[in-house]
Amino acid sequence: MFAPSPETTTPTEAPVTRPGVDDLDLALDTFLAQRTRLFRIAYQIVGDVSAAEDVVQEVWLRWQLTHRVEINNPAAFLTTATTRLAINVVQSARHRHETPAEPQLADLGDRAAQDPMVCAERTVAVEAALALLMARLTPDRLAAYVLRKGFDYAYADLAGLLRISVQNARVVVHRAQARLECDRERPVPAESHRRLVSAFRTAASTGDLEDLIRLLIPGGRVHRLLSPA
């Protein structure tokens, strides 16, 4: 059963309910109340309208099959399911060398949004994107990738910061992009992830990248920049 569009208020056919399980009409109402928000979360992660719609449809299917009477916070459950499925889509697409090719860091760094709900959604997307980058990139490539893709650092400025040539700065970013297409991952320490998310959000909201750069490049120097892929 596919998730109805926001304009649809009831399913085409009357759902078959089971004794002891909450009615699908209520499940539908709950889902529709969250659907637009779930789509925005999915889109911010996958960066593609069609893929985001597919994620939302899959969340709807899973919501129908979930034992909903045991869910205390449906909104949180749906948000978590959407985030995880969207990350899976990104990882799977990279594995098959299809689009979307990389996390949409530039969009997530947009400082114009004032809506608290939109800000909360972007926080979820930032956390997911940075966790993926940390799991797949070495510290040198992580630094180069986040600064270039998230904040449009010029290669000349990136080279000066990393104390390498402009050409080598391009190589580092290119290798980071290539590494994201591989599904090999390392564990991400929760505290390190929390600090990076906080520094990224601060840089995006204030334009001051000092703390982010200090976190990405301890001591002002990234080592092993051109280590073999």
pLDDT of residue 207: 86
pLDDT of residue 89: 82
- CA within 13 Å, CB half, 190: 0
pLDDT of residue 224: 40
- Residue 181 burial (CB < 10 Å; 0-12/13-18/19+)? middle
pLDDT of residue 125: 73
pLDDT of residue 219: 66
- Give the whole-angstrom CA distance, residue 113 versus residue 121: 11
pLDDT of residue 156: 92
Query: For each successive 10 residues of the chain (229 residues), what is the average pLDDT?
Result: 45 40 79 86 79 89 88 88 84 54 57 54 74 86 90 89 91 88 79 91 87 83 42
* Degrees to nearest 5, angle at CA 78 with 73 and 82: 150
Record the tokens describing residue 208, joined without a space: 């001051």
- Give the whole-angstrom CA distance, residue 117 versus residue 41: 11
pLDDT of residue 15: 42
Which residues have CB under 8 Å from 109's CB, separation 6+? 150, 151, 200, 203, 204
- Give the whole-angstrom CA distance, residue 101 versus residue 124: 19
- Whether omega before 100 lies within 30 degrees of 0, making that bond cis, reads yes
Which residues have CB under 8 Å from 156's CB, separation 6+? 166, 169
| Contacts for 206-215: CB closer than 8 Å, 24+ residues apart | 207/111, 209/147, 209/151, 212/146, 212/147, 213/147, 213/161
pLDDT of residue 102: 57
